[in-house]
Copies of this chain bind each other. A is one copy, B any other.
Amino acid sequence: MAQQKKMVEDITSMDEDFAKWYTDIVKKAELVDYSSVKGCMVIRPYGYAIWENIQKDLDERFKKTGHENVYMPMFIPESLLQIEKDHVEGFAPEVAWVTHGGNEKLAERLCVRPTSEVLFCEHYKKVINSYRDLPKLYNQWCSVVRWEKTTRPFLRSSEFLWQEGHTMHETEEEAREETMQMLKVYEDFYSESLAIPAITGKKTEKEKFAGAKETYTIEPMMHNGVALQGGTSHYFGSHFAETFGISFLGRDNKQHAPHQTSWGVSTRMIGAIIMVHGDNNGLVLPPKIAPIQVIIVPIAQHKEGVLDKAYELADKLGKNFRVKVDDSDNSPGWKFSQYEMKGVPLRLEIGPKDIENNQCVLVRRDNGEKSFVSLDELDTAVPEALKAVHDGMYQKALDNLKEKTHTALTYEEFLDTAKNKPGFIKAMWCGDVECENKIKDETGGVKSRCIPFEEEHLSDKCVCCSKPAKYQVYWGKQY
C-alpha cells in the first residue's frame, strides 16, 4: 500500500551540506511547499501549527504589556510611501507594485506593504489629539512583501508572516522604555518559549532600520555559527510624526509631536528553530511551541489492550498537553523516525510488557535519553521531561553560542577567525562606516551584528583601522 511503502528517508547530514540539510528538513518535516510564485511559500499544516503556537504565546505577551491589535490596509499609495525620504529609499527597491484594479489602470500605483509605519502614521494623525490619547500601543499580525532576489523558506521569502508593533508616546523617555521593553519581550520569548539564547544590543548606523533613529536587535546564532537577525525594536524619535504632521496638545497646553517606536518578528523564527536545534535526524522542537508535545507509539498494537491503554493515556495527558497517538499500520520503527523528523519533544512507548509492569518508556528527542516511568507518575513525569527537554535544548544552544564566539584584537586575527572559525567575533570598533564596509568586503560578508548592552573593553584600538575604539561590537555573517 502506498503509505506503508513510504519510508522516512534520510536527510543530508548537516556537517556535509548545511544548506541542503536545512531544505531537506523543511520539506521532509512537511513544514513548507514551494508555490508557482517565485519566493512565496505554502506553509503546510505542521509548519502553520508551529506559527499558531508562536502567535498565541507572543500575543499574550503583547497584551500583558498593554498592546491592542489592529488591522491596516495591505496597500500603500506611492505618494504616502514617499513622505519619509530614508524610509522610501530603504524599501522602494524591494516592493511589489499594483498598477491595475480589474481592467482599469490605477491613477496612482499602490505598493503591497513591506512594513506599515506610514499607514500607522496616517491613522495616528487622525486619532491623536491630546496627551490623553497617548500612549497608542498598537500591534498588527499580517503578511508583508519584500521582493527578494534569492529566497529560502522562512529565512528570506518574498512574502512572509509577521507582527509589527507601532506605538506613539507622550515623551521620549516613555518611547525609549517601550523600545527596550519590547526587545526584552522578544528576548524572554526566545529563551522561555523557543529555548534559544541570543546576543542583544544596538545596531550600528549602517545597519539600522530605514528611517529609524535607533534599532535594537536580538541575534541568535545558528548551529553552523551564522547569525540570524531574530527580531528588531526601533526608536524613531518624533521625526516620522513631524513629517506626517501628527501632534497633540500637551499638559503644558502646547502642541507637541509624539515619540514613536516599532518592533517586529516574523516566520523567520521558524528558520531559527530549525537551525539552532535541528540535528541529523530532523527537527527538534521546543516543547512550548511544538504542535505535538508527546507522541504515543503503541508497541505490538494488535495485542489486546495495547491501543486501549494508549488512548487512555492520551486522554489523560491530553488535558494538559498536546498529545497524539499514532495508531496507523506503520511499524514502531517507522513511527520513531517519523516523529524524530518532526521534532516531537517526547515519545511515549507503551506495549504489552509495559502494561503488565504498569509502566511506559519516555524518550527525549533532544538527547535520545530513555527512561521507564510508572504510569501512576506520568502526570508529573511528563511535565518534568518536557522541562528537561527545554532546558537541555537551551543549554546546548548556549554552549554552541559560547564555543563559537571568538575574540579578535588585531585585524590579522580578525581575518583569520572570519575565514577559519565560523561564529561571532568580538572586536573593538572606531565607529566609522568605512571600517564596517572594509570588513564586509574583505571577509566575504562579515557585518556588525550589534553593539552589546554590556560592552567589554578588549583593547583601545579599532580592530580594523587602529584608530581609538569607541565600541565593542559583535561581528558575524548572517542569513
Contacts and interface: CB of A to CB of B under 8 A. Distances in A.
Interface of A: 1-3, 33, 35-37, 40-45, 48-49, 51-52, 68-77, 80, 92-103, 110, 112, 119, 122-123, 126-127, 129-130, 132-133, 138, 142-143, 145, 147, 158-159, 161, 249
Contact of A96 (B98, B127, B161): B98
Contacts of A159: 73-75
A37 B382 CA distance: 52
A161 B95 CA distance: 22
B2 A145 contact: no
B74 A132 contact: no
A130 B3 contact: yes
A163 B101 CA distance: 23
A126 B112 CA distance: 28
Contact of A42 (B45, B72, B129): B72
A71 B43 contact: yes
Contacts of A40: 73-75
A143 B94 CA distance: 21
Copies of this chain in its oligomeric complex: 2
A102 B292 CA distance: 40
Contacts of A75: 37, 40, 96, 159
B36 A122 contact: yes
16 contacts: A1-B130, A2-B129, A36-B80, A36-B122, A40-B75, A42-B73, A43-B70, A44-B70, A45-B69, A48-B69, A52-B69, A74-B74, A74-B112, A75-B159, A97-B98, A98-B112
B76 A37 contact: yes
A123 B69 CA distance: 31
Contact of A142 (B51, B98, B129, B143): B143
Which of A33, A41, A42 is most buried by chain B, counting CB atoms within 10 A of its CB? A42
Contact of A3 (B1, B52, B132, B142): B132
Q: Closest 7 A-B residue pairs measured CB to CB?
A: A40-B73, A2-B130, A101-B147, A45-B68, A43-B71, A97-B100, A3-B132
A3 B1 CA distance: 71
A103 B112 contact: no
A48 to B, nearest CB: 5
Which of A1, A73, A161 is most buried by chain B, counting CB atoms within 10 A of its CB? A73
Contacts of A123: 33, 35, 42
